[in-house]
Amino acid sequence: MLWIKAFHLIFVISWFAGLFYLPRIFVNLAMVPNDSSAERDRLLLMAGKLYRFTTPIMALALALGLWLWFGYGYSGGWLHAKLGLVVLLVAYHQYCGTLLATFVAGRNTRSHIWYRIFNEVPVLLLFVIVILVVVKPF
């Protein structure tokens, strides 16, 4: 089970790296001038590759997390809270895909400031999730 835990952590860390960086690309995309198609195309290419790369990483992190949950038989309020936050993270990841599609279609209406705030959501969720898993406050 230690191997499963190690790979779960590796995939969670990798998934979070993508969740930290993808919205940062959205910040840059929102700031691209209308006449700079080369820069826009390059950022869209990067964002698309990152999203396609992190989606299977997310799936592996979730699968290994389920394996750990059922293998160790964890229970308690902390786990329910953590699972709720993981569901929010999956929704955040999916919403990033929706935002990417909006950029690809040229229909973004949000400012770079909105994306800067949006970029902080996974940081806050990571903070709470780590505390829940390590401290198990309830």
Q: Return the domain boundaries, the chain.
A: 2-135
- The pTM (predicted TM-score) of the whole model is 0.95
pLDDT digit string (tens) for 15-40?
999 999 999 999 999 999 989 999 99
Within 10 angstroms of residue 136's Cβ, the number of other Cβ atoms is: 13
**23, 102 in Cβ contact below 8 A?**
no
Task: Tell me what the pLDDT averaged over the chain comes to.
Answer: 97
pLDDT of 74:
81
Within 10 angstroms of residue 12's Cβ, the number of other Cβ atoms is: 22
Average of pLDDT values for 64-93? 94
